[in-house]
Structure 1
Amino acid sequence: MVPEEDRELSTLEMADSSELSCTGDYPEGGLRAWLVVLGAWCAMIPSMGLLNTLGILHAWTNTHQLQEYSESSIGWIFGAYGFFLYLAGAQAGPIFDMYGPAYVVIPGSVGIVAALICFSFSEEYYQIFLSFSVLGGLSACTLFTPAVSCVGHWFDIRRGYATGIACTAGGLGGAIFPLIILFAAPKIGFPWAIRIIALLSAILCTLACLLMKTRLPRNLKAGASIDFKALKDIKYASTTIAIFLVEFAVFIPITYIASYATHAGVNDTLAYAQIIFLNLGAVPGRFLPGLIADRLGRFNVMVLTSLICSVLTLALWLTAGNNIAAIVCYAVFFGFWSGAAISLTPVCISQVCATEDYGKRNGTTFTIVSVGALTGIPIAGAIQQRDGGEYQGLIVFGGVLYLAATVAFAVSRGICAGWSPKTKF
């Protein structure tokens, strides 16, 4: 006789499996798979949402808590957030592969809320650096890495689309958090605005802990935190170089577009709103390229989006001057076309490694990428200082980086799948 409890469990599993549209070994859909995507979405709002809020935080601290510091010095704070977010992937990836998401998501959830609360009390440079950059960045990684990896356990053919939907959270968070700061900070103060963000993050992280599940067998031999030996594989190495360059480039407009608008004579409210415009553009820019990439190839779409971001930066932003319409157009269009840099880059990694090693390879790549995230913002700030506060050199720097990323993705695609322009890869 089968116990009643086992019979009920079996019935639930059969009902769940009947909802899955199986393609090979991957469900590619169904209630459970999409609940995992929802959990990943909840985890990415606090982690990637804060990453996409760097511009307004940079502009605010530049005129308030840290007004006596140079652009380059302030840039190190916000570059360090991205650095620690990506660097900690070296640890979070293998832990995820071996033990599942709970061992990284729960500590990360507690950490991101604690970081925001500590940040709300911070006034000095070192306090902001330790609370927001170090604790916040490390905690954000333990939400971002398992979120992307969990989606990869449930989707293969539709992985770009599913990952893109989860990554819309970054754009949405990057719009909601600046709105909270923009409207709450002048009325109740900047510290309380940050505490509201902390409360919202706590609710979302709780949902993420409940919903994110793995499906494939755990890789108990994940072992090393950083798998640099994997770079001997030319396909993986070339992919990592391309991702390094595009992530190096993407943070420059995100961080400096608000301060550029202030420099161009735009009032503070509209200047800060550029971050909101950029992130609203990024919401469809996260999932639409993913949907197209599943049909036309992930690397193909990365080549296209990187090229368009380069053209937008060098042709539109560089010539915008104090034309507010041009600045807003750049923010929206760049937000849309740059979205693939977040949503598709992990999917590109998944195409050049085994799924059971996805967490480790993803962590290894973004550990290398963290150097670009750390240095890109302060280097751009140093260029601006050299130019006497003007932005032309900074903009050219960002545009050329995007052009280099375009070439790198094209070369990597050729190495991985051949040089025929008709190849879907």
Structure 2
Amino acid sequence: MATADSFTSKELETLSNTPQARSEKDLANPTPAIDNDAIDSKEEKYTLADAEKQSTPPAITFPEGGSEAWLVVLGAAITLFCSFGYVNAFGVYESYYLSVLLTNKTADDIAWIGSIQLCFIFGSGLFAGSIFDRYGARVIIVPASVALVVSVMLTSICKEYYQFLLCQGILGGLGQGALFTPAIGVIGQYFHQKRGAAMGLVIAGSSLGGVILPIMMANLLERTTFGWTVRAIGFLFAGILWISCLTVKERLPHRAGTFFLPKAFKDPVYVFLVAGNFFCLWGMFTPFFFIPSYALKLGMSHSMAVYLVSILNALSFPGRILPGILADKFGRFNCSIAAASVACILIWCWLAVNSAAGLIVLAAFFGFWSGSVISLFPAVMAQIVANPAEIGTYLGMAMGICGGAGLTGSPIAGALLTKYGYTAAVSFSASCLIVGIILLLIARFKFNPKLIAIA
């Protein structure tokens, strides 16, 4: 019979957290320890590591549904509607600022406003994820909701460039980021087998926002002033975010210990996954920001250019749900890499588009596949984290690092556009995705070295 001394400290900790460990009978007959020294082949070690990563602690169960779990999905989707969905609609602001409000500024100047938003959406996760794991969702979601509504209202009265940077970029980004990470992290506490589908439904909220908000803005700008158009968005956010404040809540005990988890960076799978996502996001948002201005260059009307943003986001709605369902069956890593590859090809195709019809088709297809890339990343992240109570911190640290991509990607593309034209901007964007795909492939084979596997 194995003794307690034969267990590693990690195994004893896991056993002590199970109901069986509270019984002397079970402690008298523990599961034999795994002797890693007895594993000779490298392939077997990888298989063992994969099994540990994909398994969950035996004391933790997942509802996989029920009214409470689906209400959490609803509330989290609303936070994505108001946060990521709002920044997805920035292409409307970009074209309007260029043509009406800030005509003395270049495309890359204005892109900084949206890029600062993106930076704080991701960068705020560095702290929001740990706060969520340690103190719960409402501690951060309630003040973040207030901050976002205040940001939108202040944007409606801005006149100068620096005012838009402060109100829409910095304050708005902080509020959006503090909403985004807890809304994603909480899903991992309610779903395991259906996690990809649930994540897809939540992130589809951002697509819905990217569809509704540009259409709303386009119609209101024709009927009223810019100020009242933006204030209408603020009133909409104030009217629905209270639902998130009531429904988004954690179900697992709060995590104790250090604020961050440096141990994550000892895992090569995590490191390559974060690096791959960084490069993908570095190039991903160029079409979101600059397709409307490219449409104006092709001779489209301003209203039609605005609707392109809605078309792009409308197709990203199924793109954030269907791949999540498929990923639960065929592997989240596999589907994520496939989606990023198709999105990269479509960005290269942008170079051949010289008509309004072609741009509409490109926006539709890119919307679907880019939505898949964005929605699958949190699902992949949740898959490699052994303890669901740490998902928020792992995801938050990753988002914090990716904030640099959100901050610099679109301004770099905008600067290239201003100096060299759209060919340079598109080439930069697509090249970033190529590097990201290579890094994701490395992470995938570190996680599971088999060429054909559900991973």
**TM score, norm. by length of structure 1:** 0.91
- Residue 333 (str. 1) matches residue 365 (str. 2): yes
Is it true that 1:273 corresponds to 2:307 in the alignment?
Answer: yes
Question: In 1, distance between residues paired with 2:235 and 2:437?
Answer: 39
Distance, in Å, in 1 between the alignment partners of 2:436 and 2:239 is 37
1:110-157 Cα distance to aligned partner (Å, 9 max, x none): 011000000000110110011011110000011111110111110011
Q: Which residue number corresponds to residue 385 of structure 1? A: 418
Do the aligned partners of 2:94 and 2:107 also contact (CA within 8 Å) in 1? no
Gaps of 5+ in 2: 1-58
Per the alignment, residue 406 of structure 1 pairs with 437
Per the alignment, residue 158 of structure 2 pairs with 122
Matched, 1:320 2:353: yes
Equivalent residue of 2:108, what SS? Answer: helix
1:342 aligns with 2:378: no
Letter in 1 for 2:97: T
Deviations 1:9-65 (A, max 9, x none): xxxxxxxxxxxxxx9711111111111101101111110111211111111111122
1:3 alignment partner in structure 2: none
Q: Indicate how the Cα distance of structure 1 residues 397 and 146 shifts in structure 2: closer, same or farther if over 3 A, else same.
A: same
Contact kept, 8 Å, 2:283 with 2:410, in 1: the verdict is no
1:422 equivalent in structure 2: 452
Amino acid at match of 1:405: G
In the TM superposition, residue 346 of structure 1 has moved relative to its aligned partner by: 1.2
Alpha-carbon distance in 2 for matches of 1:90, 1:172 = 26
**2:89 corresponds to which residue?**
53
Letter matched to residue 203 of structure 1: G
Distance 1:216 1:341 in 2: 28
Q: Give the letter aligned to residue 235 of structure 1.
A: V
- Structure 2 residue 393 is the aligned partner of structure 1 residue 360: yes
Specify which of 154, 157, 168 is matched with residue 190 of structure 2.
154
> What's the secondary structure of 1:25's corresponding residue?
coil
- With 257-266 and 341-350 compared, the bigger mean Cα shift is at 341-350
Identity of aligned residues (%): 33
Residue type of the alignment partner of 2:282:
F
Structure-1 separation of matches of 2:263 and 2:290: 36
Is it true that 1:283 corresponds to 2:317 in the alignment? yes
**Equivalent-residue separation in structure 1 for 2:247 and 2:60 (angstroms):** 24
Q: Structure 2 CA distance, aligned partners of 1:133 and 1:342?
A: 21
CA distance in 2, matches of 1:341, 1:108: 26
Asked whether 1:370 is paired with 2:406, we answer no
Worse overlay, 392-401 or 206-215: 392-401
**Residue of 171, 187, 211 corresponding to 2:223:** 187
Shift of 1:341: 2.5
Whole-angstrom distance in 1 between the partners of 2:392 and 2:106: 38
Secondary structure of 2:321's aligned partner? helix
Give the superposition deviation at 1:230: 2.1
Is the CA contact 1:160–1:291 (under 8 Å) kept in the aligned structure 2? yes
The one of 294, 305, 324 equivalent to 2:339 is 305
What is the one-letter code of the residue matched to 1:106?
Answer: V
2:114: which partner in 1? 78
Q: Kindly state the Cα deviation for residue 228 of structure 1 after the two structures are TM-superposed.
A: 4.4
Contact 1:302 1:406 survives alignment (8 Å):
no
Unaligned 5+ segments in structure 1 are 1-22
Contact 1:246 1:306 in 2 (8 A): yes
2:210 equivalent in structure 1 = 174
Q: CA separation in 2, counterparts of 1:159 and 1:374?
A: 29
Shift of 1:229: 4.6
**Larger-Rg structure:** 2
1:232-283 Cα distance to aligned partner (Å, 9 max, x none): 2111101101111111121111111111111111111111111010000011
